[in-house]
Amino acid sequence: MTEAIRIERDGDVAIIVIDNPPINAGSVAVRRGLLAAIEEIGQDAAIRAAVVIGAGKTFVAGSDLREFDLPLQEPQLPAVIAAIESCGKPVVAALHGAALGGGFELALGCDGRITLAGTLVGLPEVSLGIIPGAGGTQRLPRIVGIPTAIRLIASGERVPAAKALALGLVDEVVDGALRPAAVAFARRLGNGRALLRDREVPAADDGKVAAATRDALKLGRNRPAIRAAVEAVAAAARLPIDEGLARERAAFQELRVSRDARALRHLFFAERESARHPDLADAVPRKVERIGVVGAGTMGTGIAIAALDGGFQVVLVERDDAALARGVRRIADHYAGRVAVGKLDEAAAADRNSRLTAGTDWTLLSGADLVIEAVFEELAVKQDVFRRLDAVARPGAVLASNTSYLDLDAIAAATTRPRDVIGLHFFSPANVMRLLEVVRGTASAADALATGLAVGKRLGKLPVLTANAFGFIGNRIYAAYRRQCEFMIEEGAYPEQVDAALESFGFAMGPFAVADLSGLDIAWRMRQAQAATRDPQARYVTIPDRLCEAGRLGRKTGAGYYLYADGGRGRQPDPVVRDLIDRASAEKGIARRPLDDDEIRRRALLAMMNEAALLLAEGVAARPGDVDLVLTNGYGFPRWEGGPVFLARERGRAALERDLDWLAGLGGPGFTRADPAPLLGHTPG
């Protein structure tokens, strides 16, 4: 046995306790200990059955990913499960917290599964670019059949206990004491075994298998892990289980060291690190129960919904009754819609609505622990709002701005308490998007920032800390990327070609389609505001201004970079735009040349890397991994490509230096070429 595993007894039932805090990850020590425990129990005549249970907050919540970059050490999980299956005595898995990935595979190798209400079970391996490698793809179909197994494994769904029971993934759900219930269950099994390996795979209709496969590949963007998962599950219907297991393992081993898997592990580790800030380590988040939201527009209502979903009391304040009524209606409609599609029950919707207070009276905000401002993006308006907040908010309340571009310090300066002011930059739709930039003003107190990070977590967000700088991390990198794409249409490409090249790389949408979707006028107004301070020598692409001047503001006006027929759907390249672009190039004396898709992708991605290096050097982002989290969670950068920093590291120093020289040559005057050193902190994965 190892320190991670101990055997306790309840009469003739052995209880194998997995104790590997914090999440009982299936490490080599756990596997070694389990194997030894199973062997010991098999030989002990006084033991009739066994229970496997987790100490602390959870069962095995997943495998230890730190081991995944190296050859896996023996014993590997399939050997542990094989030992359970051949030990001659029934073994019951007692699940609480989370039994995911290898943890759930371990449970599937047992004779029965009992869980505490509130437990999550599932096989989310594909989200890490791999497939279940310890029998999940062979044992799960023996319970639910091929189509449902494909659906569950390809979506990586974490299944709550009640649904798991309905599907047969677990045999029993208990409310109270798990351990005695598991012991009783083990005794009930008597001496017989009830292993999944001995069950037949239920016969499935070919049409249903085909439909599940099609949906899975589409949802999973046809990535290698999804294809392998579908194949492995389908094989369970055809092959004897041991053959199916061997194939699954081979596919798992191959995928484990694949590029997708390395990129996704890099993001996994970046995410874990994102919550840890050495200089905030001692800061205690302030207590937050009541959140105030000022401004009930697009963002304010989305933020209010996120806060209501997160269980907070919410106070929504607007400048006039009409705007307030619109916002409140939007929130009510949102919940009614969720109920209508069966995503929320009536009681939960009523509970959320009941936690919302709305009004135009600012004193409503006096009880708020955190106020988030989401009014118009104008400094004077925001400063006025913060002046008023300063007057009504209780001492110690955290005051946050959702500004996208404005100077947080200038906003904080409108108050007598700049220490309490932070930025909370949500992304639209705020109740859906996971990314949250937590902005550190010059004066922001550590515990105010810690509060922002903690509330972000409670809202189910991924909070990433950024310094107060124009565009913070995300919009700043995205602007550099879009600018490079504008250079390329000025040099010879057309918007549809640039978009297609970047969509084929994996972006959810190309930059010009995105611009049309969000509306070209916001950036136009910003360019006008900056016109006076712009470096007259720097390369300036006039195409976006010309589109705006022609009234083409994007989808909302039916035309932008594209033409939108039938109510804004379905983008079509527009000859008028081609003409406008050709003329813009001609006026600058640029001889248009064809750009191939490879050049487009390289330049767009290098522009991101270059900007990421600049803002790391400036300290806007604290760590390289944060940049990748922002791009993959807020800007449609394909997760399986890891993010710009991951790509830069993969490229390596020498090649990157050459690439950036090349990019600088194409960027023209005003382009700042970065030193790539800050990107190359340590190796990916």
**What is the rounded distance in angstroms from the CA atom of residue 285 to the CA atom of residue 455?**
9
How far apart are CB 310 and ligand NAI at their closest, in Å? 18
Residues in 395-434 at the binding interface with ligand NAI, rule: CB under 6 A: 402-404, 426-428
Q: Could you tell me the smallest distance in angstroms from the CB atom of residue 20 to ligand NAI?
A: 41
With respect to ligand NAI, which residue has the nearer C-beta, 494 or 637?
637
| Number of residue whose CB is nearest ligand NAI | 297
Tell me, yes or no, if 273 is annotated catalytic. Answer: no
**220 or 471: whose CB is closer to ligand NAI?**
471
Name which of 527, 518, 519 is nearest 545 in CA terms. Answer: 527
Output the DSSP codes for 492-519. Answer: T--HHHHHHHHHHHT-SS-HHHHHHHH-
Of 182 and 630, the one with the shorter C-beta distance to ligand NAI is 630
**CA dihedral (159, 165, 170, 172) positive or negative:** positive
- Selected catalytic residue, list 85, 105, 490, 491: 105
Type of residue numbered 578: R
Question: How many CB atoms within 10 Å of residue 303?
Answer: 28
Among the residues of 14-160, which ranges form H helices?
28-43, 77-86, 102-108, 136-144, 146-155
Residue 405 tokens read as 């571009």
Q: Which of residues 280-299 bind ligand NAI (CB under 6 A)?
A: 294-299
Helix (H, G, I), strand (E, B) or coil at 377: coil
In whole angstroms, the minimum distance from the beta carbon of 436 to ligand NAI comes to 10
Buried b (16+ CB within 10 A) or exposed e, 229-266: bbbbbbbbbebebeebbebbbebbeebbebbbbbbbbb
Q: Longest Cα pair distance anywhere in the chain, in angstroms?
A: 91
125 a catalytic residue: yes
Cβ proximity to ligand NAI: between 426 and 646 the closer is 426
The pair of three-digit structure tokens given for residue 290, joined into one six-digit string: 């009541």
| Choice between 137 and 466, CB closer to ligand NAI | 466
Q: Choosing from 40, 74, 125, 254, which is the catalytic residue? A: 125
CB of 213: closest distance to ligand NAI in angstroms?
Answer: 36
Smallest CA-to-CA distance from 620 within 441, 449, 361, 494 is with 441
Angle between helix axes 474-491 and 653-667 (nearest 10 degrees) is: 60
Number of residues located near ligand NAI, criterion CB under 6 A: 22
Q: Which is nearer to ligand NAI, 446 or 526 (CB)?
A: 526
Our CA angle for 594, 596, 597, nearest 5°, is: 140
CB of 526 to ligand NAI, least distance (A): 10
| Residues from 463 through 522 that contact ligand NAI (CB under 6 A) | none
Residues 293-332 that bind ligand NAI (CB under 6 A): 294-300, 318-319, 323
CB nearer to ligand NAI: pick between 332 and 590: 332
CB of 631 to ligand NAI, least distance (A): 16
Where in 334-393 is the site for ligand NAI (CB under 6 A)?
Answer: 374-377, 381, 385
- 461 token code pair: 């967000």
Q: How many CB atoms lie within 10 A of CB 8?
A: 12
Report, in Å, the least distance between residue 452 CB and ligand NAI. Answer: 15
| 126 contributes a contact to ligand NAI by CB under 6 A | no
Applying CB under 6 A, the residues found at the interface with ligand NAI are 294-300, 318-319, 323, 374-377, 381, 385, 402-404, 426-428
Residues taking part in catalysis? 105, 125
